[in-house]
Amino acid sequence: MITIHNLHFSYKKKKIFNGLSLSFSPGHIYGLLGKNGTGKSTLLKNIMGSLFPSQGSINVLGYQPGKRQPAFLQDAFIVPEEFYLPDVAIEKFVSCNAPFYPRFSRPQFNTYLQEFDIPLENSLQQMSYGQKKKVLISFALACNTSILLMDEPSNGLDIMSKSQFRKVIAGAIDDNKCVIISTHQVKDLENLIDRITIIDEGNILFDQTIDDISSKLSFRISFDDEETKKAFYKEESLKGNVIVAPNTYAEESKIDLELLYKAVVTNGNNVNTVFKNQP
């Protein structure tokens, strides 16, 4: 669905990607993680065709995004981190923008707004940043595009809205859609994403499904010094050492995305070995 091959991209002299290859399949919600300034937004903009690779290729739904063909644009949507919405009523916003998306569903849009507690008759002008974001997310989902990219979508959402966000995204995915969410708010993605991709300085540090992570890594509290020493990552807590370790005994543990991220960033080579060694 999205195939990136040998992507090179620079902002003038600043190199961001130097041969990145990566693919994304339909039917999944991907979590794209990485430290500040590593190129997550740049990658999403390349996928969307608003930035162009200097070398390499990007194929999305059989299109080259940079060509900005209408057939591609009507089937892909990005919710950027920073966005502008005009000072008009929600009705007006929908009537001006929905015609560009053939699968836009007005009933779905109304349902999402209701979930987010946004009155339909409101004007965008009177809304806070978080409320506008909810309108944009509702619109994005109601467009029913095959590709949905979201850059820090939960930023600015209050605590209740973050759970509503997870609920609406989970309800909107189907086998034909591919959703990529770039975020630092990993807790907001828990129980939502099914694959984690971590990039760093233009390289892929880690790229695994949630199923594989849960079968190959264990997230638990340990009081055993030997075990703690061997762990990929440890953090002291009041309850004992919280560790990320190989899942030697096929135990079931709840994935802690924050701990996983720290383990990969500090000890990525070792973490990746457990994924290579097993069938």
Ligand X SMILES: Nc1ncnc2c1ncn2[C@@H]1O[C@H](COP(=O)(O)OP(=O)(O)OP(=O)(O)O)[C@@H](O)[C@H]1O
Site for ligand X in 22-61 (CB under 6 A): 34, 36-42
User: Least distance to ligand X from the beta carbon of 87, Å?
Assistant: 26
| Closest approach of ligand X to the CB of residue 50, in Å | 11
Residue closer to ligand X by CB (options 49, 108) is 49
Name which of 84 and 249 has its Cβ closer to ligand X.
84
Which span sits near ligand X by CB under 6 A: 8-16, 156-164, 168-176, 261-269? 8-16
Q: Report in angstroms how near the CB of residue 152 gets to ligand X at its nearest.
A: 7
Checking 272-279 for CB contacts under 8 A at 24+ apart, the result is: 272/206, 274/216, 274/217, 274/246, 274/247, 275/208, 275/212, 275/216, 278/216
Backbone φ and ψ for 201, nearest 5 degrees, come out as 45, 45
- Is residue 138 involved in binding ligand X (CB under 6 A)? no
The 10 Å Cβ neighbour count of residue 18 is 15
Binding of ligand X at residue 11 (CB under 6 A)? Answer: yes
Pick left, alpha or beta for residue 197 (phi over 0 → left; psi -120 to 50 → alpha; otherwise beta): beta
Query: Sign of torsion, CA 124 127 131 132?
Result: positive
For position 100 contacting ligand X by CB under 6 A, the verdict is no
Judged by beta carbon, residue 28 or residue 40, the one nearer ligand X is 40
By CB under 6 A, the count of residues binding ligand X is 11
Minimum distance from residue 143 beta carbon to ligand X (Å) = 23
Do the beta carbons of residue 155 and residue 11 sit within 8 Å? no
The two tokens of residue 24 are: 């994304």
- Give residues in contact with ligand X (CB under 6 A): 11, 14, 16, 34, 36-42
